[in-house]
Amino acid sequence: AQKVTQAQTEISVVEKEDVTLDCVYETRDTTYYLFWYKQPPSGELVFLIRRNSFDEQNEISGRYSWNFQKSTSSFNFTITASQVVDSAVYFCALSTLKISNQFYFGTGTSLTVIP
Amino acid sequence: DTGVSQNPRHKITKRGQNVTFRCDPISEHNRLYWYRQTLGQGPEFLTYFQNEAQLEKSRLLSDRFSAERPKGSFSTLEIQRTEQGDSAMYLCASSLVLSRQEKLFFGSGTQLSVL
C-alpha cells in the first residue's frame, strides 16, 4: 500500500528560526516520485518540489532545502530563516505510477511563523 | 494562461439537492484530477482523466458522484442527492505528462457546504 505520514500536525516558530517538516512514505514500488506542496490560507496548493526515487541528491532552492533518504523512507523539508509568508499548511505527496496514477497526500503540517 | 480555474468558489446546498462543479485546466494539459479535502486532512483522490477518458476512479467515488471531461478540455463533477458528509473542498488539478515528468497544478477549489 502507498502511504504518506506527516507526524507533525502543527508547528510554530519565531521568525528567522529554521524549521524542518518531516515526511515518511511507504511504497513497494521501486520507481516513485515525492512531492512537497504548500497550501496558504487562500487554499490553492502550490507545487514546491518533485523528486524521483533514483535521485537521492539533496536539493536547495533559496531558503528551502530537501533531504531525501531512501534508507529511512523520508523526504524532509527544511525552511531556513523562516518568514511570516511561510505560514501555511505543507503537504508531502507520493506518486508511484505503476499501480495507480493518483497522488497520495499526507495529512499536512500547519506551520505558523510568529513575527 | 492563469492556471487551473474552478467554479464556483463556494456552494451551499440543502441535503438531497444536486450540485455541479466546473474545472478549467491549464490549456494543453492532458490530465485532469479531482480531489476532495476535508478540514485537517490532505487531499484524497477521487478520479482522473487522460484527455477525455476517465481512467481511474477511487472507491470514495460513490454512484452519486459522476465526472465528465467532454472533448478533453474542461471537466464537471456532479454530486446527486447530496449528503452532509459530502461537505468538503473539491479540488481540481491538471498536469502535462511528458516522459513521466508529471506534477500537479491545483485550482483554488470549490468549498461545498451541505446543510
Per-residue model confidence as pLDDT tens digits over B49-102: 999 999 889 887 889 999 999 888 999 999 999 999 999 999 999 988 765 667
Q: Report d(CA A28, CA A26) in Å as an integer.
A: 7
Nearest-angstrom CA–CA distance, A30 and A8: 26
Cell of B107: 485550482
Cβ–Cβ gap B104/A103 under 8 Å: yes
CB B7 within 8 A of CB B22: yes
**Residue B100 has what pLDDT?**
60
Longest dimension (CA), chain A: 44
Q: Which range among A16-25, B15-24, B38-47 shows the weakest confidence by mean pLDDT?
A: B38-47
> Going by C-beta distance under 8 Å and a sequence separation of 6 or more, which residues neighbour residue B63?
none
| Residues of chain B contacting A107 with CB distance shorter than 8 Å | 40-42
Contact list, A101 vs chain B (CB under 8 Å) = 31, 48, 55-56
Beta bridge partners of A52: A33
Strand duo A10-14 + A109-114: pairing: parallel
Residues of chain A with pLDDT under 70: 97-100
Quick check: B45 and A108 CB within 8 A? no
Q: Which residues pair with B93 in a beta bridge?
A: B33, B106
Q: What is the mean pLDDT of residues B37-46?
A: 93
Does the CB of A90 have a partner CB in chain B at under 8 Å? Answer: no
- Which residue among A44, A50, A97 places its CB closest to the CB of B106? A44
